[in-house]
Amino acid sequence: MIDYKIELEEMVSKKNLMNSYKLYFLKAILINVSPIRKTFTFNQMACWMVAYSFEDVCHLQKRIRPLDKLFDIAVLAIEEEDLMESSSVAKVCMILEKTTNPKICKELRSLCNYVPYRLLAYRWQNELKGRTDKEKNLLLEQLSQS
């Protein structure tokens, strides 16, 4: 079993150069994939990533890693969607999935720019070669659904 408090401390450590997205991406997949539910959108993935990181970034009161945007989205959600730092994972996810706030939607989309690519790209190296990041992400989403 993964002890997320220990993992969080490792991520915050200056010795660790990885970013935190991968942990929350993996957590979202492990918790939300089942024999019944095998597919979801990148937007749903981003909402889950933020929801699972929400308590951690609120507790830390700062970014988990220097360039992570999870903290920024948590702050936006608190300020513009009336979430509280104590909001549950389910509530955070539901609010983010239903939001029409353009700033939050843009930030959610940006979370999925690189994480899925890094985890899935090895399977389709020839198809992705020479494409822009945006093209790769769109193609990865299509290929992952096939």
How high is the pLDDT of residue 17?
46
Task: List the chain domain ranges.
Answer: 4-112, 113-146
Neighbours of 58 (CB within 10 A): 18
Chain-centre distance of CA 137, in angstroms?
A: 14
pLDDT in tens, 132-146: 878 887 888 788 777
Average pLDDT, the chain: 82
pLDDT in tens, 53-108: 898 888 888 877 777 788 899 999 999 998 999 999 999 999 999 999 999 999 99
